[in-house]
Structure 1
């Protein structure tokens, strides 16, 4: 099984910031271990907004300590770049009219749903996924098919 952790930035990253994050994460995954065992780690940055850390657990299992190492590193990235990767109060979605990705707070998103600016078919990003094989079909999904529906519809 390949695990994934999806972290959403509070704003879109600039090209230089993406390059810096790629440098940091490239070095990190090369030395990422769990109880002395090398993890088969990788990463992806999508849309200049989402950081994804992945581990192939068929090669070595992730542990609490190895997850803590990744969180610690991401917090360092936050400090260095002045961004937030752990703000679960931000919702990313595709604007129904333009298809552009927008980021708003939960209250604003709730108002958009109430006022019809966002509806059941609006594409949202389900960052709660835990398996890489879910990314293609369960990450960008209509609001009605995501955890967002329980909160906002």
Structure 2
């Protein structure tokens, strides 16, 4: 599975640009993904903070992750504008019958596919070698463009999950 995404990020945005990642409860179909891209483009073009245009970017990555980014170099994103982005994401969820807000669903790359696993099943998955320390994990907790570039897709052993489960070496 190709995990290229950095080349699609705006290179004019500062490294400390704020990032919000919303993971869908399922993979979108191609027609849904195209519609979401249009809606994202419209939202980011119209996103305002205290009447000023937000330097914003939005994209759907890997058919499952909505990434919003705001470069606050010129205009900061306040509470009301953040609320408007959350309303937008909730609207997408309703329109496409998905949940973007279940933070207990974790996404991994397993056998060249994105697999979503409830956190409650993480220990089982590790104990049964479905997931190990080298399995790639989508760390949706990143908060800046720089973190998105460097720490979004990382091996489990390099993420906060490493402290949650005992990582063992899988049998060779």
Place the TM-score, normalised by the shorter chain, in its bin: over 0.9
> How many positions carry a matched residue from both structures?
151
Q: TM-score, normalised by structure 1?
A: 0.93
| TM-score, scaled to structure 2 | 0.83
Partner in structure 1 of residue 137 of structure 2: 124
Give structure 1 regions of 4+ aligned residues with deviation exceeding 4 angstroms. none
Please list every run of 5 or more consecutive structure 1 residues that lacks an aligned counterpart in the other structure: none
Of 31, 38, 50, the residue aligned with 2:53 is: 38
| Structure 2 unaligned residues grouped into runs of 5+ | 1-15, 167-172
- CA displacement at 1:32 relative to structure 2: 0.7
* RMSD of equivalent CA atoms: 1.2
Aligned positions of 1:97-116 closer than 5 A: 98-116=111-129
Contact 2:24-2:100 within 8 A present in 1 as well: yes
Asked if residue 71 in structure 1 is aligned to residue 98 in structure 2, the reply is: no
**Paired residues of 2:40 and 2:59 also in contact (CA < 8 A):** no
The structural deviation recorded for 1:107 is 2.0
Per the alignment, residue 4 of structure 1 pairs with 19
